[in-house]
Amino acid sequence: MPSLTAAAVVAGEAPGGYLQAAGSGTSAATGGAGAPDAVGDRDAASSHGAAVDAAGRGVPRPTTLTPIGTPIMSSSALDALQESVPLARQVELDALVLLRIVGACERASGVGAGNPLDNAGSRSWGSRPGEWGAADASCAGQLLGWLDSDESSTAKRPVLHVTSAFTFPRTATARTGAPLGAHLQPQQRAQRLREASRLLRDVNREHQPVGWFYQADSGQLSSFINADWTEMQYQYQRCLKNAVCVVYDPLRKWSSATLGIRVVRLSAPFMQEYRRLLEGAATAAGGGGRGAAAQGQAFGRGGGRVVAGSTFTSEALRDLALCSQTMIEDVPFTLRSSALVEQYLAAYGVRSTATIPSAGRLHHHLDDIDSERLRLGRERALAESTVETLVQDMDELTREQSRYQHFLRSHARTLAQQAEWLRKRRADNEQRIAAGHEPLPEDKMPPFLSNTQEPSRLETMMVVRDLVECLRDLETSVAGRCEKEFGARSLCQ
Amino acid sequence: MDCVSVLPSKPGLAWARISPTVVAEVLDHYTRRSPGQERVIGTLLGTVRWTRRWGGAAAGGHAEVDVCGSFAVPHVEDADEVALDVEYHQRMLSLVRSAGAPGLEVVGWYCTGWVDHNNSAVIHEFYAHECGVGVDSVACLLVEPGVSGDAEGGDGGTVRDPLVGVYTGVVSQLGGQSMSTDLTPVGHEVVPSSGERIVLDVLTKVLGSGAAAGEGDGSGPGRLQPPSALNELASLERSLRRLLDALDSVLEYVGDVISGDEIGDPQVGRLLLETCAAIPHLCGEAYDQSFQSSVKDYLVVLYLSKLTSANLVLSERLLTLGA
């Protein structure tokens, strides 16, 4: 097969660069081509392969891959690449992507799949929300597509097209633990992702990753922000400037039979701060110990000294205008599909609402989402389970807050002690000047006074944001439920 | 001379349930085919269930197939021969298996365009060999990507699906020796799962409104609104309206039967009776009480959640180093 040999050749000659870190892949796309093609990639690969080697990190074989399957480049090269890529303001989802995501998530959690006539003729929509024990079976996968930054297009701004999706590989023992397949060796996983992209390329699909999708926690409405998610999204955005995460919330279909899809990504200030966190962690691990004193000192408000080198401090948050609200941002998205698929969908829609003449006029196909929406029984369980998990989250938040308050108290005490010490030192210096000696320096404090390290606010931010999302959706669904109740009541009277 | 009849054996595949995702994928693959290729081929994934529902006398009963996914396989075809990229198929299959999807296996293949050609039989036999079952248990999904004339005028007339057909292999035997494999049609239905149903509904609405060049509900063509209270209300209203329409048509039908315009169908009558009996007796004191209590519950939850979110925002502002 010609395309197979081409892939082999490419893999052989410019191994580090054939499936570009999609920074350059997307820049190849922005170079004018719509859908990337093999020739364009190869050219870009051969020209870029040299650059990568020159950058010093020298990728000898495609075994050094980031967790998302793109080859590792040095930081500076990555930054330089990313400067040239415009930030997408809008995302276009293919209809097929939605179908695939929803299908994959459903199959992973084993809910309501396929046959509605399974239970002795009665229609079942899967088990009730309270009976799902499958909070660990959340599924995730890779999104593929291309970036359209053509200024002359009607949207007049860079648009990220998402055209394909497939699930992440995971090992056979994957039932519990990290749902994102993190337990699979990162290299193996990256290899598999590369392989999948390569295979898709052979059938003329876009093969460059543009993000990933994630199924939100099934115990709680639209709750997806946790440490794993943040880490993953950070990795994606580090390698691809425009990486987005499509979050699918399976619970919305129970509450109101609507589609819970959101497209989110981390905001730029958050990325900055998180990067500091990761790099700080790396150097701390390398340098041993806290490294706190060695990293210099910064001034907190009120003149005290808070050690820099801890990330997500209040000061950093203030500087970057970062709070839980600005942590992640929603990217507006639209849906599109090819003409054939649209035609099929239209025919399907027509068929499902048409009446079958043989049964008279009565066969309105109300056995679909509209009637499900009107069902009254479901939401009680949903609301109960959500409130329970909310309570747990609240507990966690309270713990974080009490920890922070503890820090505040000790910080205030330390400030007082520092002031005291400074005063004493000044008094000493007066005396020494009076006696003709050298004044002692005022800067060097005894170490026990200068080790106040503000705990990272990252956890708090994540928990708060998650809670805010969950509460908002809870309000919406509960309000809808109230309306339904009132409607039912008026029907009876 | 003895006339030995050529007996096709009974097909082992009796019913196929197809998810609309698969059809969409096939159409998408067709859109992306290389220039010069007339039809596309790929593998179908799903689950097979063996039942004896159809009272088969044949050993092993009959199979029902649930098709949930698919992937494309590159192939080369001309008048005489066809070459399928088997290695690609194996690699893709191993990838899919490693993705951990429970119980997905190869159940057949799909193609577009046409089926009655020798090449199709060859491919069918290959897939049968892949699955390890007989030729008669392997499904072939045929999707016709063209627009046929009937489909356009089809919203008032008979309902049929012009685009999708499922076939399975039938081996013709002559005196114990298999002669040829033909493909015969098999009953099928396109059934979405619950989540897919919602997606399809959303898609038809959103894409349809896009075609109608922007409606006045604030969403541009093809946009999807984030969930909000207004949207919930709107969708609830839509559901209620459909319910009312259905009730109206039922009443009309009943009126016609009573007045003698139409002969009542006993099945319909039974259905109506069952439905009326299934409605719980909702009116009265007890219902009022339960209604009040549940509404109160929900209002409490609403109040608490608003309180909590306000508190969260405050806590974030106040609990910082500067304060």
pLDDT computed for residue A6 by the predictor: 36
Q: Which two tokens stand for residue B243?
A: 């319910």
Interval A398-405 mean pLDDT: 85
Identify all chain B residues contacting A351, using CB atoms and an 8 Å cutoff: 159, 161
Which residue of B15, B19, B28 to mutate against A (max A Cβ within 10 Å)? B28
pLDDT computed for residue A383 by the predictor: 75
- Please report whether residue B119 resides in a domain: yes
Does residue B156 sit in the same domain as residue B248? no
Distance from CA of A8 to the nearest CA of B (A): 13
Interface contact B101, partner A, CB < 8 A:
yes
- Please report whether residue B103 resides in a domain: yes
Q: Which two tokens stand for residue A360?
A: 């008279």
pLDDT computed for residue A43 by the predictor: 35
Residues 57..86 of B with a Cβ closer than 8 Å to A: which?
66, 68-69, 72-74, 76, 85
Residue A339, CA distances (Å) to B3, B180, B202 in order: 53, 38, 17
Using DSSP bridges, classify how beta strands B7-8 and B164-174 pair: parallel, antiparallel or unpaired. antiparallel
Element of type H or E holding B37? none
pLDDT computed for residue B261 by the predictor: 75
State yes or no: pLDDT of A9 exceeds 60. no
Using DSSP bridges, classify how beta strands B177-190 and A305-307 pair: parallel, antiparallel or unpaired. unpaired
Q: Which two tokens stand for residue B220?
A: 């541009």
- Please report whether residue B21 resides in a domain: yes
Interface contact A38, partner B, CB < 8 A:
no
Element of type H or E holding B240? helix B229-258
Q: What is the CATH number of the domain that holds B54?
A: 3.40.140.10
Interface contact A318, partner B, CB < 8 A:
yes
Does residue B172 sit in the same domain as residue B27? yes
- Please report whether residue B208 resides in a domain: no
Identify all chain A residues contacting B262, using CB atoms and an 8 Å cutoff: 360
Identify all chain B residues contacting A460, using CB atoms and an 8 Å cutoff: 316
Q: How far apart are CA B201 and CA A346, in angstroms?
A: 10
Cβ within 8 Å, pair B308-A464: no
Q: How far apart are CA A158 and CA A162, in angstroms?
A: 13
Q: Are A135 and A218 in contact (CB under 8 A)?
A: yes
Which of A26, A60, A4 lies closest to A195 in space, CA to CA? A4
pLDDT band of A332, cuts 50, 70, 90: confident
Q: Are A81 and A102 in contact (CB under 8 A)?
A: no
Does residue B42 sit in the same domain as residue B185? yes
Element of type H or E holding B286? helix B285-318
Spell out the long-range contacts of A484-493 with Cβ–Cβ below 8 A and sequence spacing 24 or more: A484/A374, A484/A376, A484/B236, A485/A376, A485/B291, A485/B294, A485/B295, A485/B298, A486/B295, A487/B236, A487/B240, A488/A376, A488/B282, A488/B291, A489/B291, A492/B282, A492/B283, A492/B287, A493/B283
Cβ within 8 Å, pair A3-B74: yes
Highest average pLDDT, of A274-278, A348-352, A363-367, comes from A274-278
pLDDT computed for residue A378 by the predictor: 63
User: ipTM strictly over 0.85?
Assistant: no
Interval A4-25 mean pLDDT: 34
Cβ within 8 Å, pair A343-B147: yes
pLDDT band of A234, cuts 50, 70, 90: confident
Choose one of B191, B206, B228: the last residue of a domain: B191
Does residue B107 sit in the same domain as residue B30? yes
Cβ within 8 Å, pair B224-A483: no
Q: Which two tokens stand for residue A204?
A: 């003329």
Q: How far apart are CA B136 and CA B17, in angstroms?
A: 16
Identify all chain B residues contacting A459, using CB atoms and an 8 Å cutoff: none
**Overall domain count for chain B:** 2
Cβ within 8 Å, pair B321-A314: yes
Residues 191..230 of A with a Cβ closer than 8 Å to B: which?
192, 195-196, 199, 202-205
Tens place of pLDDT per residue across chain B (323 aa): 554 445 555 556 777 888 888 888 888 888 777 777 777 888 888 887 776 644 444 445 577 888 888 888 888 877 777 788 888 888 888 887 777 666 678 888 888 877 666 777 778 778 877 777 666 677 788 877 665 434 333 333 333 345 677 777 776 666 666 666 677 777 777 777 777 777 777 777 766 665 443 333 333 334 555 555 566 677 777 777 877 888 888 888 888 888 877 777 788 788 888 877 877 666 667 777 878 888 888 888 888 888 888 888 888 777 766 64
Mapped to the 3 state alphabet, what secondary structure does chain A carry? CHHHHHHHHHHHHCCCCCCCCHHHHHHHHHCCCCCCCHHHHHHHHHHHHHHHHHCCCCCCCCCCECCCCCECCCHHHHHHHHHHCCCCCEEEEEHHHHHHHHHHHHHHHCCCCCCCCCECCECCCCCCHHHCCHHHCCCEEEEEEEEECCCCCCCCCCEEEEEEEEECCCCCCCCCCCCCCCCCCHHHHHHHHHHHHHHHHHCCCCCCEEEEEEECCCCCCCCCCCHHHHHHHHHHHHHCCCCEEEEECCCHHHHCCCCCEEEEEECHHHHHHHHHHHHHHHHHHHHCCCCCHHHCEEECHHHCEEECCCCCCHHHHHHCCCCHHHCEEECCEEEECCHHHHHHHHHHHHHHHCCCHHHHHHCCCCCCHHHHHHCCCHHHHHHHHHHHHHHHHHHHHHHHHHHHHHHHHHHHHHHHHHHHHHHHHHHHHHHHHHHCCCCCCCCCCCHHHCCCCCCCCHHHHHHHHHHHHHHHHHHHHHHHHHHHHHHHHHHHC
Q: How far apart are CA B154 and CA B170, in angstroms?
A: 32
Three-class secondary structure of residue B20 per DSSP: helix
Q: How far apart are CA B56 and CA B50, in angstroms?
A: 11
Cβ within 8 Å, pair A318-B227: no
- Which residue matches tokens 């919602």? B198
Does residue B108 sit in the same domain as residue B256? no
Cβ within 8 Å, pair B34-A473: no
Residues 71..110 of A with a Cβ closer than 8 Å to B: which?
94-96, 98-100, 102-108, 110
Q: Are A69 and A243 in contact (CB under 8 A)?
A: no
Q: How far apart are CA B173 and CA A79, in angstroms?
A: 68
Contacts of residue B47, defined as CB under 8 A and 6 or more positions apart, other chains included, come to A114, B65, B66, B68, B103, B104, B105, B107
Does residue B18 sit in the same domain as residue B112? yes
Task: Report the interhelical angle of A95-109 vs B20-31 (nearest 10°).
Answer: 140
Which residue of A4, A89, A101, A102 to mutate against B (max B Cβ within 10 Å)? A102
Residues 105..144 of B with a Cβ closer than 8 Å to A: which?
none
pLDDT band of A67, cuts 50, 70, 90: low
Closest chain A CA to residue B267: A359
pLDDT computed for residue B225 by the predictor: 56
Which of A326, A325, A324, A213 lies closest to A261 in space, CA to CA? A213
Provide the 10 A C-beta neighbour count for residue A465. 19
Which residue of A344, A379, A478 to mutate against B (max B Cβ within 10 Å)? A344
What percent of chain A is modeled with pLDDT above 90? 0
Does residue B56 sit in the same domain as residue B154? yes
pLDDT computed for residue B187 by the predictor: 77
Which residue of A337, A376, A399, A493 to mutate against B (max B Cβ within 10 Å)? A337
Does residue B20 sit in the same domain as residue B167? yes
Q: How far apart are CA B67 and CA B77, in angstroms?
A: 25
Q: Enter the DSSP assignment of B223.
A: B
State yes or no: pLDDT of A273 exceeds 60. yes
Identify all chain A residues contacting B17, using CB atoms and an 8 Å cutoff: 114-115
Using left for φ > 0, alpha for ψ between -120 and 50, and beta otherwise, residue A341 falls in alpha
Interval A136-144 mean pLDDT: 72
Interface contact A356, partner B, CB < 8 A:
yes
Mean of the per-residue pLDDT values of chain A: 64
Three-class secondary structure of residue B149 per DSSP: helix
Interface contact B153, partner A, CB < 8 A:
no
Which of A396, A441, A445 lies closest to A418 in space, CA to CA? A445
Cβ within 8 Å, pair A476-B224: no
Greatest Cα-to-Cα distance within chain B, rounded to the nearest angstrom: 107
Nearest by CB: B196 against A102, A256, A317: A102
Does residue B155 sit in the same domain as residue B272? no
Highest average pLDDT, of A116-125, A133-142, A338-347, A368-377, comes from A338-347
Cβ within 8 Å, pair B72-A203: yes
Q: Are B224 and A334 in contact (CB under 8 A)?
A: yes
Q: What's the distance, CA A104 to chain centroid?
A: 18
Does residue B25 sit in the same domain as residue B104? yes
pLDDT computed for residue A193 by the predictor: 78
- Please report whether residue B209 resides in a domain: no
Cβ within 8 Å, pair B250-A362: yes
Identify all chain B residues contacting A483, using CB atoms and an 8 Å cutoff: 232-233, 236
pLDDT band of A128, cuts 50, 70, 90: very low
Does residue B78 sit in the same domain as residue B154? yes
Per the structure, the complete domain to which residue B10 belongs is given by 6-191
Interval A232-260 mean pLDDT: 77
Does residue B181 sit in the same domain as residue B249? no
Q: How far apart are CA B306 and CA B294, in angstroms?
A: 18
Q: Enter the DSSP assignment of B146.
A: S
Q: What's the distance, CA A372 to chain centroid?
A: 31
- Nearest-Å Rg of the Cα atoms of chain A is 28
Cβ within 8 Å, pair B198-A480: no
pLDDT computed for residue A379 by the predictor: 65
Which residue spans within chain B are E strands per DSSP? 7-8, 13-18, 41-51, 62-73, 75-77, 82-84, 105-112, 139-143, 164-174, 177-190
Q: How far apart are CA A313 and CA B320, in angstroms?
A: 9
- Please report whether residue B224 resides in a domain: no
Identify all chain A residues contacting B218, using CB atoms and an 8 Å cutoff: none
Interval A176-184 mean pLDDT: 45
- Please report whether residue B296 resides in a domain: no
Nearest by CB: B24 against A96, A318, A373: A96
pLDDT computed for residue B231 by the predictor: 64
Distance from CA of B30 to the nearest CA of A (A): 9
Choose one of B128, B158, B191: the last residue of a domain: B191
Interface contact B268, partner A, CB < 8 A:
yes
Q: How far apart are CA A110 and CA B52, in angstroms?
A: 25
- Please report whether residue B116 resides in a domain: yes
Q: Which two tokens stand for residue A245?
A: 């995460």
Identify all chain A residues contacting B202, using CB atoms and an 8 Å cutoff: 98, 258-259, 335
Distance from CA of B173 to the nearest CA of A (A): 35
Which of A265, A310, A325 lies closest to A462 in space, CA to CA? A325
Which residue of A335, A409, A489 to mutate against B (max B Cβ within 10 Å)? A335
Q: How far apart are CA A454 and CA A26, in angstroms?
A: 40
Q: Please state the φ and ψ torsions of residue A77, each to the nearest 5 degrees.
A: -65, -40
Identify all chain B residues contacting A336, using CB atoms and an 8 Å cutoff: 207, 222
Three-class secondary structure of residue B14 per DSSP: strand
Q: Are B64 and A237 in contact (CB under 8 A)?
A: no
Q: Are A246 and A261 in contact (CB under 8 A)?
A: yes
Q: How far apart are CA B137 and CA B184, in angstroms?
A: 12
Which residue of A188, A313, A371, A373 to mutate against B (max B Cβ within 10 Å)? A373
Closest chain B CA to residue A465: B312
Which of A213, A280, A277 lies closest to A249 in space, CA to CA? A213
Choose one of B150, B172, B191: the last residue of a domain: B191
Distance from CA of B80 to the nearest CA of A (A): 18
Which residue of A204, A212, A301, A319 to mutate against B (max B Cβ within 10 Å)? A204
Q: How far apart are CA B71 and CA B90, in angstroms?
A: 11
